[in-house]
Amino acid sequence: QMQLVESGGGVVQPGRSLRLSCAASGFAFSSYGMHWVRQAPGKGLEWVAVISNDGSNIYYADSVKGRFTISRDNSKNTLFLQMNSLRDEDTAVYYCAKDSPTWLHLIDYWGQGTLVTVSS
Amino acid sequence: DIVMTQSPDSLAVSLGERATINCKSSPSVLSSSNNKNFLAWYQHKPGQPPKLLIYWASTRESGVPERFSGSGSGTDFTLTINSLQAEDVAVYYCQQYYSSPYTFGQGTTLEIK
């Protein structure tokens, strides 16, 4: 069955970097766009970034543009989020999520999430 | 950016009764090219990832119980849960997928009265 498993979360100091990974299985990863969505403690969902199936189209939320980079390795069925210049407000559970067929930018499946804590 | 605003922020409904959650978009998320509303609803239970319930404003995702329904067009949308069950306790979010950034509403917490 379909699975998305995030990893790479942890505690990091402000200004430092962290790289999240999301291992996909149970579907044709290279055929689908992929998203990152986050949820800060006690807050709602915030969309972060999306990448098309071949990596040719990428969009970011303004709050992370210039600091975060979404990428993918279709040969390894893995999605990444490189997070640089981390701030306290980046503390959140980060979810990897699958886009719907035909690149609608509709999220139809989510991973369990990984917690990133930015703190000195 | 498209702003999504949900109401109410929370509500409590008795078991077996109807729950209604509203979502407003500004501006519209109705596409003139395909006459479809780029609006989805998600259910988020504690300790679980969010789950897609409704897309195109009113199309139920496969496996979602029929008591969940979506309606509306343009800028005003509604998620209705008929005959509320205990397992429906969750936070519900609307999201537009019309244009980047793909913004969510602030969420509505649904509890049992």
Using CB atoms, pick whichever of B91, B103, B106 lies closest to residue A47. B103
Q: Which of A100, A95, A98 is nearest to A81 (CA)?
A: A95
pLDDT band at A23 (very low <50, low <70, confident <90, very high): very high
Q: Mutate one of A70, A99, A104 to test the B interface: name it (highest B CB count within 10 A).
A: A104
Cα angle A62-A81-A75, degrees, rounded to a multiple of 5? 135
Which residue type is seen at B24?
K
Does residue B90 carry a pLDDT above 90?
yes
Q: What is the mean pLDDT of chain A?
A: 97
Average pLDDT over residues B71-89: 98
pLDDT for B30-76, tens place per residue?
A: 999 999 999 999 999 999 999 999 999 999 999 999 999 999 999 99
Asked if B104 has any chain A CB less than 8 Å from its own CB, the reply is yes
Asked if B36 has any chain A CB less than 8 Å from its own CB, the reply is no
Measured in angstroms, the CA of A91 and the nearest CA of chain B are apart by: 17
Asked if B25 and B96 touch (Cβ cutoff 8 Å), the reply is: yes
Does residue A103 carry a pLDDT above 90?
no
Average pLDDT over residues A9-15: 98
Per DSSP, which regions of B14-113 are E strands? 19-26, 39-44, 51-55, 59-60, 68-73, 76-81, 90-96, 108-112
Question: What does the pLDDT read at residue B79?
Answer: 98
Q: What is the mean pLDDT of chain B?
A: 97
pLDDT for A57-93, tens place per residue?
A: 999 999 999 999 999 999 999 999 999 999 999 999 9
pLDDT band at B82 (very low <50, low <70, confident <90, very high): very high
Using CB atoms, pick whichever of A44, A95, A104 lies closest to residue B106. A44
Asked if B97 has any chain A CB less than 8 Å from its own CB, the reply is yes
Judged by CB atoms closer than 8 Å, whether chains meet at B42 and A45 is answered as: yes
**Consecutive H or E run containing A34:** strand A34-39
pLDDT for A39-58, tens place per residue?
A: 999 999 999 999 999 999 99
Measured in angstroms, the CA of A50 and the nearest CA of chain B are apart by: 9
Question: What does the pLDDT read at residue A56?
Answer: 95
Does residue B100 carry a pLDDT above 90?
yes
Kindly list the residues from chain B whose CB atom is less than 8 angstroms away from the CB atom of residue A50: 100, 102
Does residue A25 carry a pLDDT above 90?
yes
Using CB atoms, pick whichever of B38, B52, B103 lies closest to residue A107. B52
Percentage with pLDDT > 90 across chain B: 100
Percentage with pLDDT > 70 across chain A: 100
Tokens 């995030």 sit at which residue?
A6
pLDDT band at A102 (very low <50, low <70, confident <90, very high): confident
Question: What's the rounded Cα separation, in Å, for the pair B81 and B41?
Answer: 12
The 10 Å Cβ neighbour count of residue A76 is 12
Question: What's the rounded Cα separation, in Å, for the pair B5 and B7?
Answer: 7
Kindly list the residues from chain A whose CB atom is less than 8 angstroms away from the CB atom of residue B90: none
Structure token pair of residue B56? 């195109």
Question: What does the pLDDT read at residue A70?
Answer: 98
Asked if B82 and B75 touch (Cβ cutoff 8 Å), the reply is: no
Asked if A66 has any chain B CB less than 8 Å from its own CB, the reply is no
